[in-house]
Amino acid sequence: MSVPSTRDPLGLLDPPLDHALEPADASGAHVQAARFPRWRRAFEWSATSAPVALLLTTGYILGPQGINLVSLAALSSLDPVVPVALAALGVLVGLRGGDRRGDEARVLVAASVASAVTGIVVSAGIAAVAVFEPSALVPLPWALVAVAGICAATSLTLPSGDSLEPRTISTRVIDAGVLLPIVAGGLLLAWMRSASFVEALGLVVQVSAVTVALAAAGWLLLRQASTATDERVFAIAVLLLVGGAADALALSALAGGLVAGVFWRYGSGTPGDTLRRDVLFVQHPLLVLVLLVAGARTEVSALSLTFGAGYLTLRLVGTLSGGLLARRILGPKAPRDLGLYLTPPGVFGVAFALNVVAILGPDASVLVAAVVVGTVGSEFVSLFFLPRSIAE
């Protein structure tokens, strides 16, 4: 049985379950974890996993349509905090980056293909329903059809904070697969605010420049910090600035966080290590905030349940199809059932839906409800259709 290290006394930095296939872990605790009853996986906490469905359901129960402990007024007061949480998630992805291995480009291509296939299948399926049964989706703006595909395209809950830990090919695909949806989401939100795609690109460049300037300012502040407390205060302040700037400009906080994270990742010295440490320190509270707020904002109706069921079905088809294509790109080193590793919904789809509703307002409420319903459904489906390496 493994003993938690002094660096990680809570044991939160354990590798994901699919590490059970790795030779080094063949007789370790992760094999024992894989033998736990499947329902136990719905309550797992680690550095890279969380009980997504449980937190979303709890948020709904606590929200206005539940016991109203988190009222509409309380949700309104949390609105300024949500972009900061979303920016922090983007920063985590940017700080994690690649492994700098020889096959990293191939993994990125395979992951992007899997994400693109999932997004296209979901968007095309919803668009087909809107064409052939327009009465079913009357309240749904056409722009949200593309947004639904982007929400469905990710499977990542949280990237690992340790860039040196061994990772299986499936974990690397899941990590890299979030990049394309975040970038596409940032472009889409900018396009929705612009008259043309060229103007949207210009807006994205301008906002990225502002984000880099804020990141550089935070970098300089951290270089002047003299104590660990000062470093943490400055790091949180920079997150507030990045998230607040995206919110003020009504653009993607996830994309803004990604830009800042990439900038800090390629910087050198203590500030980069400090930012990585402090963002990891707050990642779980921010994750809980995002999921609880999304659950509380869910308005269950016949339309949202129907939309959510369709979203779930299309997402499963998309992830399995995308997994097949990704495996063909990766070759024999990828597991045969790679698509099953991609079926867990992660948190970035829910996060992007929250980002959209913060910008579009009530018009996007049906999207949040459908994504939450589809996410909860995807989580439970993934418990029963485990990859062979975990199921065994």
Domain boundaries, the chain: 63-391
User: Cβ neighbours of residue 208 under 8 Å, at least 6 residues apart?
Assistant: 256, 259
Lookup: tokens for 147: 């947004």
CA angle 212/213/219 to nearest 5° reads 85
Average pLDDT for the chain: 77
**pLDDT tens sequence across 224-243:** 767 777 777 777 777 788 88
Q: Which CATH number fits domain 63-391: 1.10.700, 1.20.1530, 2.40.30, 1.10.3470?
A: 1.20.1530
- pLDDT value for 267: 66
Whole-prediction pTM value?
0.81
Nearest CA among 261, 260, 243 for reference residue 252: 243
Averaged over 318-323, what is the pLDDT?
93
Give the percent of the chain with pLDDT over 90.
15
Report the SS3 class of residue 388: helix
- pLDDT value for 27: 33
Distance CA 74, CA 57 (A): 18
CA angle 375/301/41 to nearest 5° reads 25
- pLDDT value for 129: 77
Question: What is the pLDDT confidence band of residue 29, given thresholds at 50, 70 and 90?
Answer: very low
